[in-house]
Amino acid sequence: MRPAKDFFAPLAVGAPAPLRDIPARPSRAIHFFDPSNAKMAAKVPQMVGTVDVLLGNLEDAVKADNKLAARQGLVDIAKSTDFGPTQLWTRINALDSPWVLDDLTTLVTEVGDKLDVVMVPKVQGAEDIHYVDRLLAQLEAKAGLERPILVHAILETARGVANIEEICGASPRMQGLSLGPADLAADRRMKTTRVGGGHPGYLVRQDPPRNELGVADVEAQRTTYQQDLWHYTIARMVDACAMHGIYPYYGPFGDIADTVACEDQFRNAFLLGCVGTWSLHPKQIAIANRVFSPSVEDVAHARRVVAAMGDGTGAVMLDGKMEDDASLKQCLVMVRLAEQLAEIDPELKAAYDAVGADGEVTA
């Protein structure tokens, strides 16, 4: 463990100084593409500005025979594209794979100035982050980069979940966490074969009706309520990230056709505290952008509370409900998120601008 005084020291001579705070850049959708897939790659430049994050995936879902083409494809796209406000991320191959060393060496030295975040799969503990941290510092120094590349860990093993707090605090580069529901389910020996999302077998059932003698009729028709398989893990991620000032993301929803359940799963994550999710197919981008942007009604309510609370202390009644110092803080989360999103999304800006500072909708 590094002593606190050295935590923010660069890990290589000539590497840029680590950031003290991780910027809250909008990242509602992290859109995955396979840079070795010519059709997908060709669409990337047109997607700039329509999605918060474009991520060149080098790991799972890229065929082993295409690993080198994917790496080179990402270098070519990064060099030839002006990303404007859109962030460029990559998911490198696993740390025990034969490709990862060249992934990092090539990407950082050739296009490190374009790369915002490196997503590391199957992170097990702080030792994995320490390895990437030092290597990135060496490569940044070699490439003469002036801005540190951030690191995002995917939770895909039971050990990773057990070590979640130490992973989040392992380096000042840590930007956030995503759920890796497929690998995590396999590692935990869960019995779902889906990539994210719910399962009809994971449910609770309404109590049985009873007759006048109090005998339960267990054969009676009863309502069941499907539960969220991922609630525990997402809740742990939210707390660990908030504690370390970094950002939690849902992850993939593999049933591309089921846009309704996808939206539900994304919304659960948004409500619990996640800032974004992944999109695997272009049609999931609009879902993520909608879900991870506060509604105009929520922003209007939040601004009303802020206006009503004056200096921010005490208690007031609004619409029959008590508001106080703590509910003001909840509302400020919403108001600040709306402000950040309005800076990069003109449509949202217009919608939020129609809400006055007092929460009244004027247009």
Ligand X SMILES: CC(C)(COP(=O)(O)OP(=O)(O)OC[C@H]1O[C@@H](n2cnc3c(N)ncnc32)[C@H](O)[C@@H]1OP(=O)(O)O)[C@@H](O)C(=O)NCCC(=O)NCCSC(=O)C[C@](C)(O)C(=O)O
Out of 27, 57, 233, 289, name the contact with ligand X by CB under 6 A. 57
Whether residue 192 contacts residue 255, with contact meaning beta carbons closer than 8 Å, is answered with: no
- When the beta carbons of 32 and 352 are compared against ligand X, the nearer one is 32
Among 280, 287, 288, 305, binds ligand X (CB under 6 A): 280
Q: Could you say which of Mg ion, ligand X, none residue 187 binds, taking C-beta under 5 to 8 angstroms by partner kind? A: none
Q: Would you count residue 250 as binding ligand X (CB under 6 A)?
A: no
Dihedral sign computed on CA atoms, order 324, 325, 329, 334: positive
Three-state secondary-structure class, residue 303 = helix
| Binders in 167-226 for Mg ion, by CB under 5 A | 180, 183
d(CA 347, CA 1): 46
Residue 336, both tokens: 């600040």
Q: With binding defined as CB under 6 A, does residue 180 bind ligand X?
A: yes
Cβ contact 323:316 at 8 Å: yes
What lies within 8 Å, CB to CB, of 141 at 6+ separation is: 10, 12, 13, 14, 15
Q: Minimum CB separation from ligand X for residue 255, in Å?
A: 10
- Nearest CA among 17, 54, 25, 53 for reference residue 145: 17
Partner from ligand X, Mg ion, none contacting 282, C-beta within 5 to 8 A by type: ligand X
Distance, CA of 296 to CA of 301 (rounded, Å) = 9
Q: Is 252 in the site for Mg ion (CB under 5 A)?
A: no
- Any idea which residue has 């109090």 for tokens? 214
* List 61, 203, 215, 242, residue binding ligand X (CB under 6 A): 61
The entry of Mg ion, ligand X, none near residue 56 (CB within 5 to 8 angstroms by kind) is none
**Which residue number has the CB closest to Mg ion?**
183
| 183 near ligand X, judged by CB under 6 A | yes
Q: Closest approach of Cβ 230 to Mg ion, in Å? A: 14
| Least distance in angstroms from the C-beta of 152 to ligand X | 12
> Is the CB of 140 or the CB of 156 nearer to Mg ion?
156
Q: Which stretch binds ligand X (CB under 6 A): 10-18, 169-177, 232-240, 248-256?
A: 248-256
Q: Is residue 148 at the binding interface for ligand X, with CB under 6 A as the rule?
A: no
Q: Single out the residue of 116, 30, 41 nearest to residue 72, CA to CA.
A: 41
Which CA distances in Å does 303 have to 270, 310, 339, 345, 352? 20, 11, 12, 19, 10
Helix, strand, or coil (residue 43): helix
Decide: is 230 part of the binding site for ligand X (CB under 6 A): no
255 sits near ligand X (criterion: CB under 6 A): no
Instruction: List the alpha helices (DSSP H) in the chain.
Output: 38-47, 67-80, 100-111, 126-143, 158-162, 164-168, 181-188, 231-244, 259-272, 283-291, 296-308, 325-344, 346-353
> Is position 183 annotated in a ligand binding site?
yes
Give me 37's structure tokens. Answer: 């897939």
Residues binding ligand X: what is the number (CB under 6 A)? 22
- Among 35, 56, 148, 181, interactor with ligand X by CB under 6 A: 181
Contact residues toward ligand X (CB under 6 A) are: 32-34, 39-40, 43, 57, 60-61, 154, 156, 180-183, 195, 251-252, 256, 280-282
Contact residues toward Mg ion (CB under 5 A) are: 156, 180, 183
